[in-house]
Structure 1
């Protein structure tokens, strides 16, 4: 691939353009919002001038509802040798392109499993896709050249290709992406009218659960409108669990010991199933999730504190596998939780104590 056209310069389109440009591909940028295309160009994502000739690959990075028509328009202009979209749903765009008379042989659906609660070109990064799964959904009509161009795009973006049927993909993202967004938003919505005293008690748990609730509502309306059926199916299962959990909690309030035991069993069941599901979430480098030891350090809110901790851990020969920060309410301090392999926990604890770091249980 020597040339590419990126249609749509939001977070995903601009990030792909930045990655391609960094690796020597000549990229042209197109967007209905000319200012947004100019912003992406100013960031080094490519040129906002029209390509002088058909490019090797056109990457369509527009909302799902517009993906099919945009693909059909690009094909009608013979803009590229191959066409690929990065919409978060795959069945709908293919069906729309077919209905509009598009060439399915020159098209492949794709979905990079990466993103951010922020949107727009200013949130873009050439490293956004590194190590992340990038779903490709070819079918029996897909031309081999187009599949190869798509695989080259994934490689240039340093992502990991995953081949998946379009409808199977849509069911999967309903479970692992679209439903979590709605559940996060519903939990965060409870905070809107909550008493200030309650909100001040927010800790890391509520921050973890509600982080993605900060996402752009307009973007998510587009996504959910393109995949409502599978999302509704998952949410109906969540709703059934919620109903059972509510009944179990009511039973815990009963005076009868038998009802309380039944309620406790119901709560235990949902917590156990939740833990079993969490254990299936891939860990570092896509491997099975690892059991880490946590070393907790109290730090002040001053420049360079985190850098010093990491430097001291590195000097002790300890690799930090993961890190979390729990900010103290109303104080210029916080707790940093350093996750390490169990054999390294003792060495890290000793090294940090020796360097004067206050540790916490």
Structure 2
């Protein structure tokens, strides 16, 4: 976000000063927007204020936009309270499920025409205001749920918030949203957690062999269980449908591995693995482009400043770093930096880095 001007006119009221609320506040404050924070926990509120995410309410503000950043099980009740307390404001929320809160709002019988549900596809494994980041949403998709009874002006105000925070607005309805996040967010959380659970009974010797593969698969397994019980419970039908199909895939793998000499067993196993190739190839790359990058694995000495020097020299040779993964085994004197570049820049990257003294793995 190089442009520090804002599309919004403050104050913007943020209810809930956890990770997402604090990050919304920090991002808007970086653009000079007046942010008013509120939280049921005085400790959370004071900490978020201390971190610079906004100021505590003095009760005199008249916000045009309110962002509700509370757990899914209380999202609807907080939205209703904010609509009632601020009759001229548009209210949005950041809950990761949309169908259940919308059903509760509709069942209330209240006027919810000023409510626009939304959901940023961004987060961290750690929660709380101290984990907030002004750039948390930069480059991330942010779903804005439209409805026939909501004015275009209200939707545009929420999209202005999304754009101010550096995210990409994507309009969807609530049903399509919940089906999509069941696949790309909620089911992966379960798969990651169950794989990580296998590690808890493993020996220290086995865990010492852990490389980037198991770390990638289990990265999100440290997420907060209490929050995920709420999220999964609110989107259970969509998640169950995907998990049943996943269970069928696992059954086919188990059958093949159980008797690899049976006719067709190896072919069945290969087809399941190839299905993974086909699926991952559909994931969009940087800025949503559906293309794959080439990778270069650079050996980086384990001493201060080396990784920064690699980044600097990538810039000097004029090659854009599209993605990055780091791997460093305990006790090793070097780390591996796997950098993704455009395929047409692959050979030049290897040649120029080698000429500057970098060692390329493989």
In the superposition, the TM-score normalised over structure 1's length comes to 0.94
- Which residue is 1:26 aligned to? 34
Q: Distance in 2 between matches of 1:102 and 1:50?
A: 27
Structure 1: runs of 5+ lacking an equivalent:
none
Q: Is 1:358 aligned to 2:356, yes or no?
A: no
Contact residue 16 and residue 68 of structure 2 kept, 8 A: yes
**8 A Cα contact 1:312 1:351, kept in partner:** no
User: What's the counterpart of residue 286 of structure 2?
Assistant: 284
For 1:107 and 1:23, locate their aligned partners in 2 and report how far apart those are by CA, in whole Å.
24
TM superposition shift of 1:343: 2.9
Asked if the contact 2:118/2:144 (under 8 Å) is kept, the reply is yes
Matched, 1:325 2:326: yes
Cα distance in 2 between the residues matched to 1:82 and 1:298: 51
User: Are residue 46 (structure 1) and residue 48 (structure 2) matched?
Assistant: no
* 3-state SS of 1:55 partner: coil
Asked whether the 8 Å contact 1:295–1:345 carries over to 2, the reply is yes
Structure 2 length as normaliser, TM-score?
0.94
* More off after superposition, 153-162 vs 329-338: 329-338
Q: Following the alignment from structure 1 to structure 2, what is the Cα–Cα distance between the partners of residues 236 and 164? A: 25
The RMSD of aligned alpha carbons is: 1.5
2:244 paired with 1:236: yes
SS in 1 for 2:76: helix
Contact conserved, 2:26 with 2:54, CA < 8 A, in 1?
Answer: yes
Does structure 2 conserve the Cα–Cα contact (< 8 Å) formed by 1:30 and 1:50?
A: no
How many pairs align?
354
CA distance in 2, matches of 1:338, 1:4: 39
Mapped contact 1:325–1:335 kept (Cα < 8 A):
yes
Contact 1:75–1:102 at 8 Å: present in 2 too?
no
**How do residues 339-350 of structure 1 correspond to structure 2 at under 5 angstroms?**
339-350=340-351
* Residue 271 to residue 9, structure 1, CA distance change in 2 (3 Å): same
Whether the 8 Å CA contact 1:5–1:51 is kept in 2: the answer is no
Secondary structure of 1:179 counterpart: helix
Aligned equivalent of 1:248, options 256, 259, 268: 256
SS at match of 1:317: coil
d(CA) in 2 for partners of 1:55 and 1:153?
13
1:79 is displaced (CA, Å) by 6.1
